A = this chain, B = another copy of it.
Amino acid sequence: MRDVFQAIADPTRREILGMIAYRSLNVNAVSGQFKISRAAVYKHIKILREAGLVEIKQEGRERFCHAKMEKLAVVSDWVEQYRKLWNQKLDSLEAYLEKLQNKK
């Protein structure tokens, strides 16, 4: 399974996710929003699916793309572990470490 971080690295793919976040769309509806070819958009959708961020369900001849945002949890977890480093700049540990750093 493809890395979620890598999947969301491309701006087009983030846009696709935003587009289907609240309502699923079929492949044509998604690709219609972009200037690049349908095939190119399809490849992006495929990558998102490989990362688990999108699920595709067939309905007749259409395939609807459903966003699985819970897969973003791994990104959230990674970022949040560092939040204290920029949110609580006056944190005592931070202050201590910075003092060490400057003294060096």
Instruction: With a 10 A CB-CB cut-off, give which of A10, A76, A80 has the most chain B CB atoms.
Output: A76
Interface size class of A (residues with CB under 8 A): 20 to 34
| In the complex, chain A residues 48-100 whose Cβ is within 8 Å of any chain B Cβ | 67, 69-70, 72-73, 75-76, 78-80, 82-83, 85-86, 97, 100
Q: Which residue of B lies closest to A104 (CB)?
A: B59
Return 21 A-B CB contacts under 8 Å, by A number: A3-B11, A6-B10, A8-B9, A9-B9, A17-B82, A21-B82, A21-B85, A22-B97, A23-B100, A24-B101, A69-B83, A69-B86, A70-B85, A70-B86, A72-B79, A73-B86, A75-B79, A76-B76, A76-B79, A76-B80, A76-B83
